[in-house]
Every structure is written in structure tokens, then in C-alpha cells.
Amino acid sequence: VAMAHLAGRLAQRWCPSSLQVISFPVVQLHLNRTAMRASQKDFENAMNQVKLLKKDPGNEVKLKLYSLYKQATEGPCNMPKPGVFDLINKAKWDAWNALGNLPKETARQNYVDLVSSLSSSLESSSQVEPGTDRKSTGYETLMVTSEDGITKIMLNRPTKKNALNVEMYHEIMHALKAASKDDSAITVLTGNGDYYSSGNDLTNFTDIPPGGVEEKAKNGAILLREFVGCFIDFPKPLIALVNGPAVGISVTLLGLFDAVYASDRATFHTPFSHLGQSPEGCSSYTFPKIMSPAKATEMLVFGKKLTAGEACAQGLVTEVFPDSTFQKEVWTRLKAFAKLPPNAMRISKEIIRNREKEKLHAVNAEECSVLQGRWLSDECMNAVVNFLSRKSKL
Ligand SMILES: CCCCC/C=C/CC(=O)SCCNC(=O)CCNC(=O)[C@H](O)C(C)(C)COP(=O)(O)OP(=O)(O)OC[C@H]1O[C@@H](n2cnc3c(N)ncnc32)[C@H](O)[C@@H]1OP(=O)(O)O
């Protein structure tokens, strides 16, 4: 069952047709109507109903549907077991194989029953997840608003602890580019829900392109370089409101912000060695400068998690606020900042940043190239598989 999570990419952006990622090949069914409870018609109706579901039933349910479909039409699993890194096909194989010798008729009946329960439960659940009002923002993974001279970019995958999936990397770049040109004076990045962000979405590693893991790593490095580059080049004051725990890349990027305000509930964790990875976000350069090389090593090499108070003492965080008054206090302050002359703020930022820009881009390029190699290492692959199969968490 845990392997179902390996298929995380199956529902990256859900629409009815994405259910077919776990494909339902059209086959002619030769079913003996008298020998079963669910008829061929019931079964075919159920298959059609699946395509009409309005809400993603989740990967575990999709794997169950897939396995029952295969068992009902082909009998016990007859495919060779996929390789350990062929994550999606392995999850499908595991699900089908787990049905053992379940008779075709029972599988068919179970399929029909499952679809019927899904249709009623999913159709009745019209509750919209907080922050999924996509029409108003045009973003799938963010909420972006502009008010009182402040553009707020809010990471909006609260149920995934605001983990950054590939779409979110692209959307953040888009939002930053738009914010750099809009008429706001300052830009703010924050998280929706209890986390600021749990860092890179580890299911990003499961979607292997035809060129294999090497191509995946290369594309990842290109995307990461462009993504971090947007933070290096951002022209207006950029402020992080760290509303809760922050992990991985969401921490390292803080070294590129102009101010970082944190709730006292926030923690700062960069467990790169645990994950077989290495620092990014220019942190190999900014952290030793901000907090001393030894303190940076404790975080980036040994994965020491800092409290908000510790991060403030190290200079990574500008100021810490009690969680109960965090939003009120920081927004009062930000609104006052936003009233300052925008051109003066821009020019002052430029003069601080310009001296470092070339260096930061060079560091970014080097970090991405090192990470590209790390992503292909057994240490990294094992860490990802362990997380996705729920053998380990931070
Ligand atoms: C272009 C590529 C660029 C790559 C740049 C590289 C960056 C490096 C990094 O960022 S390294 C950091 C990677 N992050 C992690 O290792 C965090 C992994 N997550 C956890 O350990 C835990 O989820 C937790 C400690 C953050 C929170 O634990 P908790 O028990 O409170 O909550 P859950 O584990 O139940 O999480 C709720 C759901 O959210 C999913 N989720 C959380 N974080 C991630 C993540 N980073 N990637 C993918 N999914 C994540 C989790 O799986 C749960 O989903 P579910 O409800 O569907 O089971």
C-alpha cells in the first residue's frame, strides 16, 4: 500500500482523463453473465463512471481500481516485475500482484462496488480545499494577491506542507517576474497552513522521462538554476514571512531575501546529508557569510534543525514574533514599509545586491551541477524511496 505513494506524479494535475494515467486498455470482455453478480454492463458502466468522477480519488484508490480492472479482465498478475526505479509501474505491479488468485468475477464485483462508493462519496464532497480558488489567481499551487503596495505570493499546497512540485517552481518564477513589473513596492513570500514549506516535493523524483534518470537529473538542475536565478535577480525588496516549519530549499533561499520575519513556531531544517544531497539556493555561499562557516556546517552538512530564536541569533532570521500575533504585527510593519518611496528602495537594494550578483550566479551554477550528480547517487535514491515508502520522515 505504501508503494502507492510512489505514483505521486500520477495525479500531478488532476482532470478526469488523468485517471487514465493508470490506463484502462479497451478490451472486449467475454464475460459469462450467469456466473457473476456484476454483469458486463455493470462493469462497463462502472468504467465509464470512473472517467466522469469530478474529484481525484487519490493514488491509492486509483491503484486499487487498476488492480481490480486487470484482475477482472486478465486474471492473476502475469507481468514481469518492473525494476526498482521504475516507480510507477512497480506500484501498479505491486497492487495487481497483491490480489493473488482472486477470482475474476469477484474482482469485477469489487470494482463495481468501489466505483459506486466513489461516485457517491466524491460527488457529495463539494468542499473546496482552502486556497484553491484558481480562477481568482490563475495559479494552481499559489495564491497571489496585490494590495496596499505589497504583492503577496503564498505557497498553497497546505495538505502537502507546501512541498514544491515542478509546477510550483514554474509558478513561483512566473509570479516573481510579474511582481517585479507590477506597481507594488515590496514582495512577500509566505505559506498557507501550518508549514512555510517542506522543501522540494520528493515525488518530483518519480516522474522519469524517456531519457531516464540522467535526463531527469539534468532537467532538474536546469530548472533549479533558473528558479534560484529569479531570487538572485529580483529587483524589489523581497521579504519572507516564515509562518511555520521550513525545510530544504525553502530554508536555503532565505539567504537571498532582504528580510526574514518568522513566527516562533517556525523551525529551519536543511537535512541534505540525510537525503544524500548537497546545498542549493546559494546557501553554500550565503550561510557561511551570514552565520560563520562552522554554524553553516552544522546546518548544511550535519542537518542541525534551528528554532526561530536560534535562526535569529545566527542572522538568518531578521526578527521573531509570537505565533499568536505574528500576522498582525508583520503586516502592520510591511504596510509601513510599502509606503516608502519605491524607487529609493529599489536602488538601495540594487547597490547592496549588485556587488554580489555575479558571485551568486556562479555559486548557483556550481551548486546545481553538484546536485545533478547527487540526484543520481544511491544515497539520494535510497532516501527518496524510503520517504515515499514511508520508511522514514525527517
Ligand atoms: C527542480 C528540483 C529542485 C530540487 C531542489 C532540492 C531541494 C532540496 C530539498 O528541499 S531537501 C528537503 C526535502 N523535503 C523533505 O525531505 C521533507 C519530507 N517530508 C517529511 O519529512 C514530512 O512530511 C514532514 C516532516 C515535512 C511533515 O511530517 P508530518 O507527519 O507533519 O506530515 P506528513 O508527513 O503526513 O505530510 C503530509 C502530506 O504531505 C506530504 N509531504 C510533506 N512533505 C513532502 C515533500 N517534501 N515531498 C512530498 N510530499 C510531502 C506527505 O507525503 C503527506 O502526504 P499524504 O497525506 O498524501 O501522505
Report pLDDT digits (tens) over 58-73.
777 788 889 999 999 9
In contact, 321 and 263? CB cutoff 8 Å? yes
The protein residue with its alpha carbon nearest to ligand 1, atom 39, reads 160
The protein residue with its alpha carbon nearest to ligand 1, atom 34, reads 393
Return the bridge partners of 307, or none.
Answer: 267
Nearest of 249, 199, 259, 207 to residue 228 by alpha carbon? 249
CB 57 less than 6 A from any atom of ligand 1: no
Query: What's the confidence (pLDDT) of residue 120?
Result: 61
In contact, 251 and 308? CB cutoff 8 Å? no
Query: What's the confidence (pLDDT) of residue 54?
Result: 65
Query: What's the confidence (pLDDT) of residue 33?
Result: 34
Atom of ligand 1 nearest to the CA of 250: 10
In contact, 222 and 27? CB cutoff 8 Å? no
Atom of ligand 1 nearest to the CA of 202: 47
Mutate to test the pocket of ligand 1, among 6, 198, 218, 377 (most ligand atoms within 8 A of CB): 198
Q: Judging by DSSP bridges, how do beta strands 186-191 and 150-155 pair with one another?
A: parallel
CA of 394 to the centre of ligand 1 (A): 8
Return the C-alpha cell found at 79.
507481468
Query: What's the confidence (pLDDT) of residue 126?
Result: 30
Q: Within the chain, which residues score under 70 in pLDDT? A: 1-36, 54-56, 120-137
Query: What's the confidence (pLDDT) of residue 111?
Result: 84
Ramachandran bin of 25, using left for φ above 0, alpha for ψ from -120 to 50, beta for the remaining angles? beta
Give CA–CA dist 388/202, Å, rounded: 8
CB 280 less than 6 A from any atom of ligand 1: yes
Atom of ligand 1 nearest to the CA of 160: 39
Could you tell me the pTM of the whole model?
Answer: 0.72
CB 33 less than 6 A from any atom of ligand 1: no
The protein residue with its alpha carbon nearest to ligand 1, atom 58, reads 5
ipTM, 2 dp: 0.99
Residue pointed to by grid coordinates 526578527? 319
Atom of ligand 1 nearest to the CA of 393: 21
CB 223 less than 6 A from any atom of ligand 1: yes
Query: What's the confidence (pLDDT) of residue 278?
Result: 98
In contact, 50 and 98? CB cutoff 8 Å? no
Give CA–CA dist 216/309, Å, rounded: 38
CB 247 less than 6 A from any atom of ligand 1: yes
CB 193 less than 6 A from any atom of ligand 1: no
CB 6 less than 6 A from any atom of ligand 1: no
The protein residue with its alpha carbon nearest to ligand 1, atom 6, reads 200
Query: What's the confidence (pLDDT) of residue 100?
Result: 87
Say which residues have a Cβ less than 8 Å from residue 232's Cβ, sequence separation at least 6.
Answer: 256, 282, 353, 357, 360, 361, 364
Say which residues have a Cβ less than 8 Å from residue 165's Cβ, sequence separation at least 6.
Answer: 12, 141, 157, 201, 203, 204
Give CA–CA dist 268/289, Å, rounded: 17
The protein residue with its alpha carbon nearest to ligand 1, atom 5, reads 200
Query: What's the confidence (pLDDT) of residue 202?
Result: 93
Query: What's the confidence (pLDDT) of residue 284?
Result: 98
Query: What's the confidence (pLDDT) of residue 12?
Result: 33
Atom of ligand 1 nearest to the CA of 247: 12
Query: What's the confidence (pLDDT) of residue 350?
Result: 97
CB 248 less than 6 A from any atom of ligand 1: yes
In contact, 90 and 83? CB cutoff 8 Å? yes
Mutate to test the pocket of ligand 1, among 161, 162, 226, 390 (most ligand atoms within 8 A of CB): 161
The protein residue with its alpha carbon nearest to ligand 1, atom 23, reads 393
